[in-house]
Structure 1
């Protein structure tokens, strides 16, 4: 016997909402906090990590991923993998993918899943950062609805609002003038929402060398701790 009500999940509600998209966005809000900053000549991404069990290798739960030599991404919510898009673009056009192209590709796929019967929206937001072939740094955010946008700095995850407010008040040309200052800005933004310090932070920096090659570096716990000590000493230095 046929059902007397509509089972489709891609139908708008009377007030114009797709509830499955709302649910996907709620999944993102329960995910780890991530922050991205575009510096003058670098991209810095930081993520709040959950505590790792003693017997688990923490390398198996990375939150920041290398999509290509010049593109990295962090996610909040349910993980997805898009490095294949970069590889396909390079094989087709023989050029590295631009940041706008890979961000649009991810957004298009997400949007498709909000309107196709038998599928559900991806419960993930992503921060995508890196360098275009011309050497210009870019930072994008992609949301579950299929919306994507470029920005100077941004955050996703459960403490998005707290981090975003900090960035809005502290992102200035002088606070991102170089790699070290951009790194400090990211760590300062994470400090209020990461209670256990460096041990629960994952930070990656992408820069370009003199030959134009992109270099992505994941900071060690010791390096993050050293920056935290510098930050803690700053008020004493200015007193």
Structure 2
């Protein structure tokens, strides 16, 4: 499959408060990558992806059914690792089936377990999955991931504002501010999309901080 057929969007997840009250998800405005997997009275799982949209819809539909089945069977919502493992195993089976091609998407799955623990997983087309504190997928994901590896720290994500800023700074390494979308997920609340004006305010603050940094270093 040629890479031209794949979604070029970038999506990043980063933890929210230090007390783990939420997760932050900024992404590219070019494609609406955020898809609700399943929600009961309140949504507790979201998936963002880069790749073939049609493949993602199939996986999301299968995941919704599995979430419903799990709820009816054990009377508890799925854990993040459970539904991630289900999606990963489904992907893996398609790599070994005659007459069927692998799913052409890389996905980030984030949300809260029923005990309130926030989780973030990534699955590859091969069916491999890993848990992360912050990650990126899509075009230029390597650059964004390297930035997060160098700049991620607990003190920077003690507040929602700090977590959003870290995620936006990482994305500004590869795309312009007007292409950003930011989604905030908090336990017990629906996914919240930040308004364009709010994102612009964050971008302006970050640009000012960048300009002030050389001055502060010179004063030292």
Report the TM-score when normalising by structure 1: 0.77
Q: Answer yes or no: is 1:175 the counterpart of 2:175.
A: no
1:75 maps to 49
Work out the CA distance in 1 between the residues paired with 2:166 and 2:6. 22
1:123 maps to 104
User: Which structure 2 segments of 5+ residues have no match?
Assistant: none
CA contact (8 A) 1:89 1:96 kept: yes
SS in 2 for 1:88: helix
Work out the CA distance in 2 between the residues paired with 1:180 and 1:66. 24
1:53 maps to none
1:233 maps to 208
**What CA RMSD, in Å, does the superposition of the two structures yield over aligned residues?**
2.0
CA contact (8 A) 2:7 2:52 kept: no
For residue 236 of structure 1, report the CA deviation from its aligned partner. Answer: 4.9
CA contact (8 A) 2:136 2:145 kept: yes
Q: Answer yes or no: is 1:141 the counterpart of 2:122.
A: yes
Report 1:25-44 matches (<5 A): 26=3, 31-39=8-16, 40=18, 41=20, 42-44=22-24
Q: Answer yes or no: is 1:48 the counterpart of 2:18.
A: no
Q: Answer yes or no: is 1:224 the counterpart of 2:199.
A: yes
Higher Cα radius of gyration:
1
Compared CA separation, residues 101 and 27, structure 1 to 2 (3 A): farther
Match of 1:202 among 181, 197, 211: 181
Work out the CA distance in 1 between the residues paired with 2:145 and 2:168. 13
Report the TM-score when normalising by structure 2: 0.83
For residue 144 of structure 1, report the CA deviation from its aligned partner. Answer: 0.2
CA contact (8 A) 1:127 1:142 kept: yes
Compared CA separation, residues 28 and 92, structure 1 to 2 (3 A): farther
SS in 2 for 1:89: helix
For residue 231 of structure 1, report the CA deviation from its aligned partner. Answer: 1.1
Q: Answer yes or no: is 1:155 the counterpart of 2:136.
A: yes
Which is richer in helix?
A: 2
Q: Answer yes or no: is 1:94 the counterpart of 2:75.
A: yes
CA contact (8 A) 2:109 2:121 kept: yes
User: Which structure 1 segments of 5+ residues have no match?
Assistant: 1-22, 51-60
CA contact (8 A) 2:6 2:52 kept: no
For residue 234 of structure 1, report the CA deviation from its aligned partner. Answer: 1.8
CA contact (8 A) 2:49 2:108 kept: yes
Q: Answer yes or no: is 1:63 the counterpart of 2:40.
A: no
Matched residue pairs, number?
Answer: 200
Work out the CA distance in 1 between the residues paired with 2:162 and 2:13. 13
